[in-house]
Amino acid sequence: MTPDKELIARFKQGGSQGEKAFTELVRRYQEKVYWVCRRMLKSHDDADDVAQNVFIKVHNGLSGFNEEAEFFTWIYRIAVNETINFIRAQKVRSAAPIDDLINEPSDDAERPDESMEREEQRRLIQEAIDTLPEKQKVVFMLRYYDELAYEEIAEMLGTSVGGLKANYFHAFKKIEEYLKLRLKQH
């Protein structure tokens, strides 16, 4: 497999070989970028839109990319920032997606009890994650799901490893508190 640095160098030379090198980089990181966006966004369409924007930004900025830095960290940072910007823009446009406002009857009634319980758990956890503050949520997603090292996340977000560890721990505590609260309500 051609190293990222070589592909970036080819891209910087320009021409059709440069574009081919860029396509190779897209193929290499498209799934990772998509899932970073998708886990923080509510729909595939939103994640698709944001993931495409990420690669367009990468294309526009790759000529000035410092090859000493990790390409992977750089592209993740763009993905996280694009996703956060998208969420902020969505919040401004509407408080909740229309799908959430329409309480369509689900097919839960036909599911076995176990499935219903799992579905209920999933819904509760999703709600709990959604209530996390923006930074905690990003740290939680990148560490828990993408299993990135604290050092990588720190480079992406420009914060200290100690601060990130605290953010990660508090994210779990907030989820725990939310679940306790919801169980009391039931």
Given the rule CB under 8 A, which of 61-69, 73-81, 100-108, 116-124 is the region that contacts another protein?
116-124
> How far apart are alpha carbons 105 and 103 in whole angstroms?
6
- H-type helices in 62-160, by residue range? 71-93, 98-101, 113-130, 134-140, 150-157
Helices (H) and strands (E) in the chain — how many of each?
Answer: 9, 0
The verdict on 126 binding another protein (CB under 8 A) reads yes
43: left (phi over 0), alpha (psi -120 to 50) or beta: beta
The verdict on 181 binding another protein (CB under 8 A) reads no
CB neighbour class for 15 (10 Å; exposed up to 12, middle 13-18, buried from 19): exposed
The verdict on 130 binding another protein (CB under 8 A) reads no
The verdict on 151 binding another protein (CB under 8 A) reads no
CB neighbour class for 142 (10 Å; exposed up to 12, middle 13-18, buried from 19): buried
Of 65 and 168, CB closest to another protein = 168
Site for another protein in 46-105 (CB under 8 A): 48, 51-52, 55-56, 59
The verdict on 179 binding another protein (CB under 8 A) reads yes
Of 127 and 134, CB closest to another protein = 127
Binding site for another protein (CB under 8 A): 19, 23, 26-27, 30-31, 34, 38-39, 43-44, 48, 51-52, 55-56, 59, 118-119, 121-122, 124-126, 144-145, 147, 162, 165-166, 168-169, 172, 175-176, 179
